[in-house]
Amino acid sequence: MFERLLNQSSAPVLEKMLQFTAARHNVIAENVINISTPNYRQKDLSLDKFQEMLGERIGQRDGAPLGETSFDDISAELENPQRGILFHDGVNRSMEQLMSDQAKNAMMHNFVVELLKKQYSTMEMSLKDRPG
């Protein structure tokens, strides 16, 4: 029953998003520290593709019975974006792009955390207010 309660609101979507932002943070961090490493290929997790997968699953959930749809198998794939200039040492570095991605990702993470906190506090409040 409790599993169904947790799985029918936006909580599983937010949890998945939180996992994604944490994983993407690690990938961006790795790019930043390897900014001077020759022949290092920059990596990224595509936010657009991830959100697309998440959106599709939310669509499937709308027509399915409560608590039946799982979000556990959704994961973002690691890719090597070919953006930016390829420098003579074989690195397509862009510190500005990395820092902006990093800032956006951190903001997204904190935003999702706030939404999740709100979700849980609402749940807690409704549990506390049960009569008897």
Partner 1 sequence: MFDALDMGASGLQAQRARMDTIAENILQANTTRNERGEKIPYKRRFVVFAPGRADDTSKPGVHVSEVGLDQSPPLRKYEPGHPDADASGYVSYPNIDPAIEYVNAMEASRAYDANITMMEDTKSMINSSLRIIA
Which residues of the chain form contacts with partner 1 (CB under 8 A)? 18, 21-22, 25-26, 28-30, 32-38, 40, 95, 98-99, 102-103, 106, 109-110, 113, 116-117, 120
CB-based contact 80:43 (threshold 8 Å) = yes
CB of 105 to partner 1, least distance (A): 8
- Distance (Å, rounded) from C-alpha 82 to C-alpha 27? 15
**Which segments of 8-132 does DSSP mark as H helices, in order?**
11-33, 47-63, 95-128
57: Cβ contacts below 8 Å, ≥ 6 apart: 69, 71, 74
Which element (helix H / strand E) includes 72?
none
CB of 1 to partner 1, least distance (A): 22
Query: By C-beta, is 86 or 95 nearer to partner 1?
Result: 95
Query: By C-beta, is 68 or 79 nearer to partner 1?
Result: 79
Query: By C-beta, is 36 or 82 nearer to partner 1?
Result: 36
CB of 126 to partner 1, least distance (A): 18
CB of 120 to partner 1, least distance (A): 7
CB-based contact 102:28 (threshold 8 Å) = yes
